[in-house]
Chains A and B, each alone.
Chain A
Amino acid sequence: MRRLFERKLPVFIIIATVVALVTVGIFSAANRKTSVVENIGGSLAMPAQSTASGIGGWLKGVFGYFGDVKALKEATETLKNENAALQKQINDMQGLKKENDDLKRMLDLKERSVNISMVATTVSAKDPSNWYSSFTINVGKNEGIERNQPVVDSNRYIVGQIAEVGENWARVMTVLDPQSSMGGYIRRSKEIGIIEGNSELKYDKMCRLSYIARDTDIQKGDFVETSGLGGIFPKGLIIGTVSDIYDDNSTMSRIATVTPLADIAKVSDVFVVTGYTEKDLSIPENAQVEEDDVDEDNEDNEESNE
């Protein structure tokens, strides 16, 4: 049997090479759908991977406990200082908020509120190859998960988006992954661009904001959030802050490197945004009318008193 196989080994190798090359060609195409084999395999592996992931997390927690004590003391001191500074900022900002509300009322700006429906889940497995930035979560089609839905952490900072979906699992492509792409919006200057993953920046846990005009007002530290263009992502989910800005001579535009606020390397609990609705919270026009009416009434009263 062994000799028979060894005579057939060259044939097996040639056929296997051709088959594998064909699959590389077919499955490397962008935006491909999840194959049946992947779906079944993922579904079968999910319970065991979830358990193994839990054991790994527990071991990490046990070994990390003693090292964490010193770090916790330092963190407490830092947090105390930060707390005092933040308290002062809150006091200052309360005054600014009131002023801002008054100004908005005067300008009749439309303020929107986004109601987001989310599915909570945990990371069960990570990219095993180290070439990409993705992870698997233990919810899928059964929980209403669909491709391209945004994934956020507990602070509602963008982590990534759904790349593939199985029955009870989904693969999340983080914003650091070279295939990741979404609309970005610079909060301060109200300019838009495209947030893209980049293989070089991935090592520094950063992504980039591309296709922004040369004359765009952008500074280090500016907040970048989802633009909401395209209707897939809700507007206003924070992605990160601008770390660096440089000109891209090939496209005559500017590129900003962005550091995501979500701790993507350590994220363990995430939420998939399965839907959202936007409410218009602008102050109704008749509210202004009522105020005007009150003013007129006062004037009438003053006249009658005279």
Chain B
Amino acid sequence: MKKRNVIFYLVWLVVLVIFQPTLMQGIRILGISPDMFLVFVVCAGLLRGRGDGAVIGFIFGLIFDLLVGEFIGISAILYMYIGLCAGIIKERFVNDRVFVSALVIASSAFVYGIIYYIVYYIGFKDLGFGTALFKTIFPKTLYTALAGFLLFVPIRKSFKLIEDKMF
């Protein structure tokens, strides 16, 4: 593991921990904010492959869970598989096109939302699927995909600064 890779991911982690619960919540639309943790995990998978995608997904997901404070571990699992799938897509099909990244981010956000809803429903049992789908999952998918579309290029540039792969 290259030291500078670790520092690179740590810097991104700190940035996300600071901005996801603050600035991102300041740009809420209809009570929904984009999920920048998910955007970064998908980018890591698409740009670095399945190894980085899975490991970064697990670690970033765990930190995200700690920030949320509920169902700790669920985002760690989901982001890990999302990062893994993004890595597989990168290795087998395409690499770093902006449109593809937005599509992968949208699909990931939608699947994440559906699975998170199931866990949430098991925990609280007071939220209808229709309400969750139209008031949280769909808007969050669109907003996160838009954020991914806009931020993929700057994130890709930051990755290119660190040429060596993590593993």
A134 engages B120 (CB within 8 Å)? no
- Residue from the list A2, A13, A28, A49 in contact with B123, Cβ < 8 A: A28
Closest to B30 in A: A203
CA–CA, A164 to B97, complex, Å? Answer: 42
CA–CA, A265 to B120, complex, Å? Answer: 22
B22 engages A203 (CB within 8 Å)? no
Instruction: Name the B residues within 8 Å of A125 (CB-CB).
Output: 21-22, 25, 67
CA–CA, A127 to B50, complex, Å? Answer: 29
Closest to B28 in A: A130
CA–CA, A123 to B10, complex, Å? Answer: 25
* Per-residue A-contact encoding for B114-128, CB less than 8 Å = 1, 0 else: 001001100110111
A55 engages B73 (CB within 8 Å)? no
Instruction: Name the B residues within 8 Å of A2 (CB-CB).
Output: 51, 165, 167
Nearest CB of chain A from residue B122's CB, rounded to whole Å: 9
- Residue from the list A19, A52, A130 in contact with B23, Cβ < 8 A: A52
A127-B21, A128-B64, A199-B126 given as contacts; is B74 within 8 A of A24 (CB)?
A: yes
Instruction: Name the B residues within 8 Å of A20 (CB-CB).
Output: 58, 61-62, 73-74, 76-77, 80
* Per-residue A-contact encoding for B50-70, CB less than 8 Å = 1, 0 else: 110011001001111111111
A16-B77, A19-B73 given as contacts; is B128 within 8 A of A127 (CB)?
A: no
* Per-residue B-contact encoding for A181-204, CB less than 8 Å = 1, 0 else: 000000000000000001110010
CA–CA, A56 to B26, complex, Å? Answer: 6
Nearest CB of chain A from residue B4's CB, rounded to whole Å: 15
Chain A at the B interface: mostly helix, strand, loop or mixed?
A: helix
A171 engages B22 (CB within 8 Å)? no
A203 engages B126 (CB within 8 Å)? no
* Per-residue A-contact encoding for B69-90, CB less than 8 Å = 1, 0 else: 1111110110011001000000
Give the size category of B's interface with A. 35 or more
A16-B77, A56-B23, A56-B26 given as contacts; is B33 within 8 A of A130 (CB)?
A: yes
- Of the listed stretches B12-20, B39-47, B100-108, B146-154, chain A binds B12-20
A45 engages B18 (CB within 8 Å)? yes
A21 engages B124 (CB within 8 Å)? no
CA–CA, A253 to B35, complex, Å? Answer: 40
CA–CA, A29 to B119, complex, Å? Answer: 13
A128 engages B21 (CB within 8 Å)? yes
A131 engages B50 (CB within 8 Å)? no
B21 engages A49 (CB within 8 Å)? yes
Nearest CB of chain A from residue B113's CB, rounded to whole Å: 9
- Residue from the list B19, B32, B51, B70 in contact with A52, Cβ < 8 A: B19
- Does A60 lie at the interface of the complex (its beta carbon under 8 Å from any beta carbon of B)? yes
B31 engages A130 (CB within 8 Å)? yes
Closest to B21 in A: A125
Tell me which residues from 216 to 245 in chain A have a Cβ below 8 Å from any Cβ of chain B: none
A-B interface, 8 closest residue pairs, ranked by CB to CB distance from nearest:
A23-B73, A125-B21, A199-B127, A56-B26, A20-B73, A27-B72, A52-B22, A5-B167
Q: List 29 A-B contacts (CB under 8 A).
A: A1-B1, A1-B167, A2-B167, A9-B50, A16-B54, A16-B76, A16-B80, A19-B73, A20-B76, A20-B80, A21-B77, A23-B73, A27-B71, A27-B73, A38-B66, A41-B66, A48-B17, A49-B21, A53-B22, A125-B67, A126-B22, A128-B67, A130-B32, A130-B136, A132-B69, A134-B69, A163-B69, A171-B69, A200-B131
- Chain B residues within CB distance 8 Å of chain A: 1, 14, 17-26, 28, 31-33, 35, 37, 50-51, 54-55, 58, 61-74, 76-77, 80-81, 84, 116, 119-120, 123-124, 126-128, 131, 135-136, 140, 165, 167
Q: For the A-B complex with A2-B167, A56-B22, A178-B124 known, give 8 more contacts whose Cβ atoms are closer than 8 Å.
A: A2-B51, A16-B77, A20-B62, A20-B77, A22-B73, A27-B73, A199-B126, A200-B127
- Chain A residues within CB distance 8 Å of chain B: 1-2, 5-6, 9, 12-13, 16-17, 19-24, 26-28, 37-38, 41, 45, 48-49, 52-53, 55-57, 59-60, 124-132, 134, 136, 163-164, 171, 178-179, 198-200, 203, 265
